[in-house]
A and B are shown apart, each in its own frame.
Chain A
Amino acid sequence: MIRDITIGQYYPAKSVLHRLDPRVKLVSTLLYLISLFLFKSIPGYIMATLFLFGVIRVSKVPFKHIVKGLRAVVMLLMITVIFNLFLTRDGAVLFHKWIFTITEGGLRTAVYMTIRLIYLIIGSSLMTFTTTPNELTDGIEKLLYPLNKLHVPVHEVAMMMSIALRFIPILLEETDKIMKAQIARGADLESGNMIQRAKSMIPILVPLFVSAFRRANDLAMAMEARCYRGGEGRTKMNPLHYKTRDRIAYIVVIVYVIGVFFVGRYVPLGIWIF
């Protein structure tokens, strides 16, 4: 399961989406996430779906690769489905047994919430697929730069984020290795109830933390050796400047958001939910 988490994993390809300014992608992702909650009807969903698929096509990231990232959040999706399905009481009762009741409204909410969540995750992972973490943090750094005047250490936070992202796959691999090593020594990670299983994680977490600290130490030294001294006086390999394609992308996204808002609200087609 560990290797299936694809969030934070850059997928190298040559597409317009890859070349866009990270600030555009950040703002657009945020707008897209908000847009998912702006409509309540089927036309809205159709529009959001079309837009998402359009973006996926443009991104040149294989669909399979994107779906793989969803596997990690199956649990979260299940919980959402179950809660919405059984706890929403709205409309005609479709199924009733003992304490379980499924209503028409509940079913609809469950389905729509699941779709929203999936779109939410795909939308945000599309950003991370097409943007290298460094670009991403560059974008965040530049977007949040005004906060620097309020003595918020924007550069430092951005640097920490990009390093954290870089080390996620390494630490995951390490976890895997430690797990295998402990299993080889007779550690039982599979059986027992939740508490016992949580306890059996300790012999994995302790060495993992030790190694993470050691790595952090090494990396800090390597960074210093390469003359890293904070954000001041640093130039950028990829300085951020908006280009025509970035402006076009902003317009496309804003048009989509406005469109989805009006279509979702005023096109009298299909079922209304909530």
Chain B
Amino acid sequence: MGRTMIQTEKLIYEYERRDEEGNVVGTSRAIDRVDLEAVEGQFIAILGHNGSGKSTLAKHMNAILVPTGGTMWVDGRNTKELEELWNVRQSAGMVFQNPDNQIIGTVVEEDVGFGPENLGVPTDEIWKRVEESLKAVGMISYRHHSPNKLSGGQKQRVAIAGVVAMEPKCIVLDEPTAMLDPVGRKEVLKTVQKLREKKGVTVILITHYMEEVIDADKIYVMDHGHIVMEGTPKEIFSRVDELKSYRLDVPQVTLLADELKKRGLAIPEGILRKEELVNYLCQLD
């Protein structure tokens, strides 16, 4: 096991609910005593339905939000400490949901250069990083294009390149595929996988698409601000009924395998891939 990249201890985030006049009527807990750990180089997935607090949790990893209770460490730094703020933001890059609202530049390469510019990286080094990160996401041939003319998946890859150019140790993706079509979704996930293999960055993927997380090292399932399940994909997906109770859609193959098992076929739990199921089915007499 490598170094711990992200760790939370009894993380709590509360916000004040206000009535129409702006008076405080109470507090709500978006995140409630969450304990989570990600080791360097791991692929961690956080699953949850809308309003489960998963995006709020993601924003803590980048110190956009600061916990109201408990602690969050990013690469050994406490996000509550103000002087560490920029270091935290550099070590944990963040990709958001809406591709249009996170691209600042009017030309692809200008946008990728935005992060390094903010970090005060010397000019030659910026260009090197821009080129490298655009290559890493396979968008180098679009470097002079306007982001407005790209597809959703391409825009998201540019956004990822923008984060990669800051050379973070960890990339947090907050529902990066929610606004994309299936082709774009695949594009983005493939890019993330490739980055992980090549650069060894820690990936934290927040999503509600179960298909995207079958390669994860560890999955956390969130509901109403709590972590309700955690484990490897196999462990998680073998608890189909529990997942359904958190309003999460189980991948079709897993669902089929589960139904077949319930009807008495001798199939193991937690089947994630089509080939796997086919294999087991062929072994039956």
Binding site for B on A (CB under 8 A): 10, 12, 132-134, 162-163, 165-166, 169-170, 215, 218-219, 221-229, 233-239
**Chain A minimum-CB-distance residue to B96:** A222
Contact call B115/A226, Cβ cutoff below 8 A = yes
- Cβ of B144 < 8 Å from any Cβ of A? yes
Set of chain B residues within 8 Å of A12, measured between Cβ atoms: 107, 144-146
Contact call B106/A170, Cβ cutoff below 8 A = no
Contact call B106/A219, Cβ cutoff below 8 A = no
0/1 string, B98-135, CB within 8 A of A gives 1: 10111111110110011111111111001100100000
Contact call A225/B148, Cβ cutoff below 8 A = no
Contact call B101/A219, Cβ cutoff below 8 A = yes
Partner of A166, one of B106, B116, B130: B106
- Cβ of B94 < 8 Å from any Cβ of A? yes
Partner of A170, one of B94, B100, B109, B116: B100
Jot down 28 A-B pairs with beta carbons below 8 A, ordered by A. A132-B106, A132-B107, A134-B105, A134-B107, A163-B104, A165-B106, A166-B105, A166-B106, A169-B148, A215-B98, A221-B64, A222-B96, A222-B101, A222-B102, A223-B104, A223-B114, A225-B64, A225-B89, A226-B114, A226-B115, A226-B163, A227-B86, A233-B120, A234-B117, A234-B120, A235-B117, A235-B123, A236-B117
Contact call A218/B101, Cβ cutoff below 8 A = yes
**Chain A minimum-CB-distance residue to B147:** A166
User: Chain B, interface size: which category?
Assistant: 35 or more
Given that A166-B105, A235-B126 are contacting pairs, would A226 and B145 also be in contact in the complex, using a CB cutoff of 8 Å? no
Set of chain B residues within 8 Å of A10, measured between Cβ atoms: 106-107, 146
Given that A226-B114, A233-B120, A235-B123 are contacting pairs, would A218 and B96 also be in contact in the complex, using a CB cutoff of 8 Å? yes
- Cβ of B166 < 8 Å from any Cβ of A? yes
Contact call B123/A224, Cβ cutoff below 8 A = no
Task: Give CA–CA (A132, B146) in the complex, Å.
Answer: 10
- Cβ of B62 < 8 Å from any Cβ of A? yes
- Cβ of B162 < 8 Å from any Cβ of A? yes
Given that A226-B115, A237-B126 are contacting pairs, would A219 and B104 also be in contact in the complex, using a CB cutoff of 8 Å? yes
Set of chain A residues within 8 Å of B103, measured between Cβ atoms: 166
Given that A12-B145, A227-B119, A229-B86 are contacting pairs, would A222 and B93 also be in contact in the complex, using a CB cutoff of 8 Å? no
Task: Give CA–CA (A243, B101) in the complex, Å.
Answer: 35
Most buried by B among A10, A226, A227: A226
Nearest-CB distance from B182 to chain A (Å)? Answer: 22
Given that A226-B118, A228-B118 are contacting pairs, would A133 and B101 also be in contact in the complex, using a CB cutoff of 8 Å? no
Set of chain A residues within 8 Å of B144, measured between Cβ atoms: 12
Task: Give CA–CA (A62, B109) in the complex, Å.
Answer: 24
Nearest-CB distance from A193 to chain B (Å)? Answer: 36
Nearest-CB distance from B141 to chain A (Å)? Answer: 13
Task: Give CA–CA (A70, B54) in the complex, Å.
Answer: 49
Contact call A237/B115, Cβ cutoff below 8 A = no
Task: Give CA–CA (A71, B108) in the complex, Å.
Answer: 29
Set of chain A residues within 8 Å of B89, measured between Cβ atoms: 224-227
Task: Give CA–CA (A46, B123) in the complex, Å.
Answer: 44
Task: Give CA–CA (A238, B122) in the complex, Å.
Answer: 11
Set of chain B residues within 8 Å of A235, measured between Cβ atoms: 116-117, 120-123, 126
Tally the A-B contacts, defined by beta carbons under 8 Å. 97
Binding site for A on B (CB under 8 A): 59, 62, 64, 86, 89-90, 93-94, 96, 98, 100-107, 109-110, 113-123, 126-127, 130, 144-146, 148, 162-163, 166
Known contacts A12-B145, A228-B114, A235-B117; 6 additional CB pairs below 8 A are: A132-B110, A134-B105, A215-B101, A225-B62, A227-B115, A237-B117
Task: Give CA–CA (A222, B98) in the complex, Å.
Answer: 10
**Chain A minimum-CB-distance residue to B159:** A222
Set of chain B residues within 8 Å of A228, measured between Cβ atoms: 114, 118
Set of chain A residues within 8 Å of B114, measured between Cβ atoms: 223, 226, 228
Set of chain A residues within 8 Å of B126, measured between Cβ atoms: 235, 237
**Chain B minimum-CB-distance residue to A174:** B100
Task: Give CA–CA (A218, B126) in the complex, Å.
Answer: 25
Contact call B123/A236, Cβ cutoff below 8 A = yes
Contact call B110/A225, Cβ cutoff below 8 A = no
Set of chain B residues within 8 Å of A223, measured between Cβ atoms: 104, 114
Task: Give CA–CA (A132, B101) in the complex, Å.
Answer: 19
Nearest-CB distance from B227 to chain A (Å)? Answer: 23
Task: Give CA–CA (A272, B107) in the complex, Å.
Answer: 46
Set of chain B residues within 8 Å of A162, measured between Cβ atoms: 106
Partner of A237, one of B104, B120, B123, B145: B123
Set of chain A residues within 8 Å of B120, measured between Cβ atoms: 233-235
Task: Give CA–CA (A165, B130) in the complex, Å.
Answer: 22
Most buried by B among A132, A166, A238, A239: A166
**Chain B minimum-CB-distance residue to A133:** B106
Nearest-CB distance from B82 to chain A (Å)? Answer: 12
